[in-house]
Amino acid sequence: MSLSVFRMLCLTLLVLWAGTLHAADSAQPAASVAASSPAPHPGGPTAAAGANSAVSAAIPVRRWVRAPRVHGRLTAKELGLVINEDDPYSVQIGAYYAKARQIPASRILKVRLPVKPTLTPGEFAAFSKEVEAFFGQRVQGLALSWRQPFAVNCNSITGALALGYDHRLCQNTCSTSRASTYFGGISTRPHADHGMRLSMLLAASDVRSAKAMIDRGVRSDHTLGLRGAPPAQVHYVSTSDRIRSQRRLLFPPAGLVRQFGVEVHLDETDALQDVDRVLLYLTGRERVEHLDTIGFLPGALADHLTSFGGALEPSHGQMTALSWIDAGATASYGTTSEPCSHLQKFPDPQALLLFYVQGATALEAYWKSVRWPQQGLFVGEPLAAPFSRATGG
């Protein structure tokens, strides 16, 4: 990431992020992280605990933001699957996923796409038309069963599918980008309510790792937040890379949150080691070490704030989202082109957790947590929902 650009924009960062986590489908906004009075999540934790003493005094007292109450979630009946017949990985993983989530042939689109990192705008336009013509109003989200292509010029392929391809952003990828009306909202029907067809890549470094990721997602359903169970561990990490650790400004208070069944940790380290029952691991570095010592729960979400975590090829020298998947996470996120210092282009740490613990799928929780997702690539098993209940469908 361009650190000089990052530093120039640090002062504007707080202003840019001053907009609150809002209920997109409600006229009543929620309080921001920097609010001067407690703003508890409905039915959730009350504001408590001061700022981490080791963090800059400029950071306000840590408080929980308010996220809207959400009822229901996306299910397999509302998900479409896209398979690239020119990609052996896609064919094999697509078939495996269709069986695992019982997706019928009527909701499986088979296409022929170049197996390369980036589509041209013309190639994407043709693909997008196929998607729209086949699925229409029948599905709310998509699983894309490949690793490549992951981008459309400077846009991520998931961002372009949801918001349309934005050619202007590619003139300056450090600029602001299209806002997602789905961010922070209550909708469980993103295509019907917002005209956004959310998608996630079933991507891993190889077929074996991808199948394991899918298995973890399926196995995670309805497993967490149960009365009497040990808490899932949430790790928000500030590293020695202070620029890539800017999300620390948005971290909630540390401590046990019994009503959610999670325990929040605010760690100051370059990399966690030998920790278990990890549900959430958010950090900021070009590369994260010791992932082989992390005991991820089925359904775990993990990502690192850096420039090219969503560019699923090694040419940039930065760790990609695939490393999280291979280490045992079930979903991850990264940007495919230089985002600069805009935190709006990365998952909000509180929104991601607060929607997930309400029973949302990994697809919904990740998408609801990113305000400007045009450059962001969503990777993982989209229907993983560890806090859902079996009666929810």
Is 380 strand, coil or helix? strand
Average pLDDT over residues 261-282: 98
> Residue 390: its pLDDT value, please?
81
Given a cut of 90, whether residue 51 has pLDDT beyond it is: no
Average pLDDT over residues 286-292: 97
Residue 391 confidence class, pLDDT cut points 50, 70, 90? low
Number of domains composing the chain: 1
> Residue 315: its pLDDT value, please?
76
**Does residue 256 sit within a domain?**
no
Given a cut of 60, whether residue 127 has pLDDT beyond it is: yes
Average pLDDT over residues 260-274: 98
Mean of the per-residue pLDDT values of the chain: 87
N residues, the chain: 393
pLDDT per position as a tens digit, 74-126: 999 999 999 999 999 999 999 999 999 999 999 999 999 999 999 999 999 99
pLDDT per position as a tens digit, 182-201: 999 999 999 999 999 999 99
> Residue 105: its pLDDT value, please?
98
**Does residue 107 sit within a domain?**
yes
* Rounded (10°) angle between helices 88-100 and 207-220: 20
Query: 239, 245 in Cβ contact below 8 A?
Result: yes
- Residues of the chain with pLDDT > 90: what percent? 81
> Residue 134: its pLDDT value, please?
98
**Does residue 172 sit within a domain?**
yes
**Does residue 116 sit within a domain?**
yes
179: Cβ contacts below 8 Å, ≥ 6 apart: 344, 371, 372
Residue 341 confidence class, pLDDT cut points 50, 70, 90? confident
Average pLDDT over residues 205-220: 98
Average pLDDT over residues 57-72: 84
Average pLDDT over residues 345-363: 98
**Does residue 315 sit within a domain?**
no
Is 101 strand, coil or helix? coil
**Does residue 119 sit within a domain?**
yes
Tell me how far apart the alpha carbons of residues 284 and 296 are, in angstroms, rounded to a whole number.
Answer: 18
Residue 60 confidence class, pLDDT cut points 50, 70, 90? low
Average pLDDT over residues 32-57: 29
Tell me how far apart the alpha carbons of residues 229 and 248 are, in angstroms, rounded to a whole number.
Answer: 28
pLDDT per position as a tens digit, 363-379: 999 999 999 999 999 99
> Residue 73: its pLDDT value, please?
97
Closest CA to 298 of 197, 392, 393, 216: 216
**Does residue 261 sit within a domain?**
no
* CA atoms within 13 Å, Cβ hemisphere of 133: 8
212: Cβ contacts below 8 Å, ≥ 6 apart: 204
Query: 98, 110 in Cβ contact below 8 A?
Result: no
**Does residue 368 sit within a domain?**
no
The domain of 172 spans 76-201
